[in-house]
């Protein structure tokens, strides 16, 4: 194999690795919901209805009363997902 072929080969491997990393990261965004909200009920229940920020805070509070434990940081991540999925009303 000449030097150029080797380089092409390395570049192809590099591309494959980065593509799979990007795909993996894209999925990772929603695992906070799977991990925190998918135990007692299906995580899909979270995506059924749009709510205002206040209402979401109330939902999260109600889940905490039922036994959910989340840190402030995790709460922020949950709101990021809700925002991204356009589940927050103004």
Q: Which residues bind ligand HEC (CB under 6 A)?
A: 36-37, 39-41, 45-46, 59-60, 63, 66-68, 78
- Whole-number minimum distance, CB 27 to ligand HEC, in Å? 18
Nearer residue to ligand HEC within complex by CB, 9 or 45: 45
The CB density around residue 1, as the number of other CB atoms within 10 Å, is: 8
Tokens 């494959």 -> residue:
16
Over the range 37-49, which residues count as b (16 or more CB within 10 Å of their CB) and which as e? beeeeebeebeee
- Whole-number minimum distance, CB 81 to ligand HEC, in Å? 9
């Amino acid at each position: 194999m000449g030097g150029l072929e080797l380089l092409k080969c390395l570049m192809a491997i590099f591309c494959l690795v980065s593509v799979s990393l990007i795909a993996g990261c894209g999925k990772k965004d929603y695992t906070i919901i799977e991990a925190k909200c998918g135990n007692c009920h299906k995580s899909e229940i979270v995506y059924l209805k749009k709510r205002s920020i206040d209402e979401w805070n109330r939902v999260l509070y109600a889940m905490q009363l039922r036994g959910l434990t989340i840190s402030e940081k995790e709460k922020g991540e949950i709101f990021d997902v809700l925002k991204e999925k356009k589940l927050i009303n103004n």
